[in-house]
Amino acid sequence: MLQQKLTFTTNDQTKELLVAIKLTGSEVKMNGLLPTGQFIYSLRYDGTTVVEDNLMNIPLPTHDMLAMMQFALWPTKAVETSYSKINGWDLDMSEGKRILSRKNTQVLEVEYISATHIAFTHFMHNYNIDIHTLEYLPL
């Protein structure tokens, strides 16, 4: 179980969300709360289907977020298999950073700032997500 603070920044708007994420071998479950503690969002992903419940109708880039988590957290070999040159992707994966490009245009950058802080920049959709892990509880 992970408890994290997500900060979304796009143009001149910034929004914060607290999330609790449970990862098992077969699914991802995520609950989102406002900084005040009010429950606003849930997501369940079983590897095939995404089920969302967005109580506040706040637009969240759910599919992008799942893809970014996979890109950031999957082992190098799995990322290289999923984002192959044959399919038009270019990868730059170094210590502390991963960059995904297509046709010489950066799509996504992940920066591992510390063990508890990851920063995402999605160039195509013009937003940043800053993730701070507040607590990790082994299942």
| Of 19 and 57, more confident | 19
Model confidence at 68: pLDDT above 90: no
Which residues, in sequence order, are bridge partners of residue 51? 44
CB atoms within 10 A of CB 134: 12
Give domain limits for the chain: 2-136
What's residue 20's pLDDT?
Answer: 92
**pTM passes above 0.85:** no
What's residue 139's pLDDT?
Answer: 64
Q: Hey, what are 118's tokens?
A: 């990851």
Q: How is the beta sheet containing 127-136 ordered, strand by strand? A: 50-54, 39-45, 28-33, 13-23, 2-10, 127-136, 117-122, 105-114, 97-102, 89-94
CATH architecture for segment(s) 2-136 = Clam (2.50)
